[in-house]
Structure 1
């Protein structure tokens, strides 16, 4: 008497499907899966050391020293 029979579970599933619809449940499960993947990616990113900054070589300009400017 304390447990539900197969008929009870089918009725519960039918009511849930009527309330939320098939598309809504699949959207929720897709969002849930994306959240789990994002969480796992965040955990994995914390384990790797940060990448060193990229150094770009800027073109050099010849700058005159203050002594050269005074001379002329």
Structure 2
């Protein structure tokens, strides 16, 4: 009784189809396939290095400019 036979799996499949319906199962399958494909594409793109790195909008690029805009948050509590 440790393993299920093919008949057990067919009955389980029949119950799942009756509960969810074929349309819902088809949509879930296509969503899952799209997610796996997107994950694989992301893994491929993640391995390549960008040719030219551009600074992100709002990112400080020079240390002199960073020192001018640095705010000491704890300045009010210091004595």
The SS at the match of 1:46 is: helix
Q: Which runs of 5+ in 1 are unaligned?
A: 54-72
The SS at the match of 2:49 is: coil
Please say which structure displays the higher CA radius of gyration.
1
Q: Return the structure number with greater relative CO, CA threshold 8 A, min gap 6.
A: 2
Q: Which runs of 5+ in 2 are unaligned?
A: 54-79
- TM-score of the pair, normalised by structure 1: 0.58
- TM-score of the pair, normalised by structure 2: 0.53
Q: How many residues align?
A: 52
Q: Which residue number corresponds to residue 39 of structure 1?
A: 39
